[in-house]
C-alpha cells in the first residue's frame, strides 16, 4: 500500500520495540512515516521493512536529547510537508532500577530528558504542524508505573508522571482545535526495556509490540475523537 491516505506521521523510538512496530503498522495502512531513532543501521533495516510493505519512510537518525535538533526537525518537516497529521512518541529510557536515594544525577537527567523533556520539545516543535492538519493526532507512550509507582523505579516513574501531566495539560488547551492528544499505556510488552526491568520474567507470556501497535495507530486516525485520556492496551 503506498501512501493511500496522503497522511504523514512522525514516530520516535522507531528503531525497535513498540516504536518500530507502530512505524511498520502505519506503513501497512498507507501512511508516510518519518522515523526517528539513534541508530542509523536500525533505521535502514526498518526502511527495508517499510518498503517491503509498499510504504514510504523518511529516516531521521537523531538522539532525542538533541533538543535543538527537535526544533530543526519541526522546521524541516514544515518545509517538506507543510503539516504533520500524527505524532507517535514511543521513545523511552528506563533509567536504572535502584533505590531513589542511590540514583545518580546522570541517570535521573537521562530519564527526564528522554521521557519528559524531549516530549515537551516535540509538543513545542510539532504543535504548529499538527495544527496545520485537518485532524492532527498525538499519542505518547506512558506506563502504569506513573500512577502506581514501584520500588526502585524512581527515575522512570517520575518522568512518566511528568509526561502524563504535561500531555493532559496540552490536551485541555487544544480541546477547541482539531488536534487531539492522548496517552497510551501498553502494560507489560515483550521488549528489550521490559527484559532489562524484569529479567526473570518469561517474555513468551507477554504480548508482542506487533500486537500492541494497531491500537496506537487507531488512536492516530482522523476520526479518533478522544482527548486527554490514558488508554490502556486491551489484548
In the chain, domain spans = 8-232
Asked about 156 being catalytic, the answer comes back as yes
pLDDT at 149 over 80: yes
pLDDT at 111 over 70: yes
The three-state secondary structure class of 209 is helix
- The model carries a pTM of 0.94
Q: How many percent of the chain have pLDDT more than 90?
A: 83
pLDDT at 207 over 90: no
Which residue matches cell numbers 495507530?
217
Higher pLDDT, 234 or 102: 102
Q: How far is 196 from 191, CA to CA, in rounded Å?
A: 9
End-to-end CA distance of the chain: 26
Q: Is 151 exposed, middle or buried (0-12, 13-18, 19+ CB in 10 A)?
A: exposed
pLDDT at 2 over 80: no
Residue 198 pLDDT class (50, 70, 90 cuts): confident
Contact present, 156 and 175 (Cβ < 8 Å): no
Alpha helix ranges (H) inside the chain: 17-28, 40-52, 67-81, 105-112, 118-132, 154-173, 192-197, 209-219
Average pLDDT (105-122) is: 97
pLDDT of residue 201: 75
pLDDT of residue 234: 86
pLDDT tens-digit series, residues 56-70: 899 999 999 999 999
pLDDT of residue 203: 79
Residue 116 pLDDT class (50, 70, 90 cuts): very high
Higher pLDDT, 17 or 6: 17
Average pLDDT (71-98) is: 95
pLDDT tens-digit series, residues 38-55: 999 999 999 999 999 889
Find the catalytic residue in 120, 152, 156, 224: 156
pLDDT at 182 over 60: yes
CATH pick for 8-232 out of 3.10.105.10, 3.20.20.70, 3.40.50.720, 3.90.1150.10: 3.40.50.720
pLDDT of residue 95: 86
Residue 187 pLDDT class (50, 70, 90 cuts): confident
pLDDT at 3 over 50: no
Side-chain half-sphere CA neighbours of 132 within 13 A: 15
Amino acid at each position: 500500500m503506498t501512501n493511500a491516505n496522503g497522511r504523514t506521521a512522525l514516530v520516535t523510538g522507531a528503531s525497535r520495540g513498540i516504536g518500530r512496530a507502530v512505524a511498520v503498522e502505519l506503513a501497512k495502512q498507507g501512511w508516510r512515516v518519518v522515523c526517528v531513532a539513534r541508530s542509523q543501521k536500525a533505521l535502514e533495516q526498518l526502511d527495508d521493512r517499510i518498503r517491503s510493505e509498499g510504504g514510504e519512510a523518511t529516516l531521521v537518525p537523531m538522539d532525542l536529547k538533541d533538543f535543538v535538533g527537535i526544533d530543526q526537525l519541526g522546521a524541516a518537516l514544515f518545509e517538506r510537508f507543510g503539516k504533520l497529521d500524527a505524532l507517535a512518541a514511543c521513545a523511552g529510557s528506563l533509567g536504572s532500577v535502584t533505590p531513589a536515594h542511590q540514583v545518580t544525577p546522570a541517570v535521573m537527567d537521562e530519564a527526564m530528558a528522554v521521557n519528559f523533556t524531549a516530549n515537551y520539545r516535540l509538543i513545542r516543535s510539532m504543535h504548529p504542524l499538527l495544527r496545520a492538519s485537518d485532524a492532527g493526532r498525538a499519542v505518547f507512550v506512558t506506563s502504569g508505573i506513573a500512577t502506581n509507582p514501584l520500588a526502585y523505579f524512581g527515575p522512570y516513574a517520575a518522568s512518566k508522571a511528568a509526561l502524563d501531566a504535561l500531555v493532559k495539560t496540552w490536551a485541555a488547551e487544544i480541546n477547541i482545535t482539531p488536534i487531539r492528544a492522548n496517552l497510551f499505556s501498553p502494560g507489560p510488552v515483550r521488549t528489550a526495556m521490559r527484559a532489562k526491568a524484569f529479567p526473570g520474567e518469561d517474555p513468551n507470556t507477554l504480548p508482542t509490540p506487533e500486537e500492541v501497535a494497531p491500537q496506537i495507530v487507531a488512536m492516530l486516525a482522523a476520526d479518533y475523537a478522544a482527548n486527554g485520556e490514558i488508554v490502556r492496551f486491551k489484548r
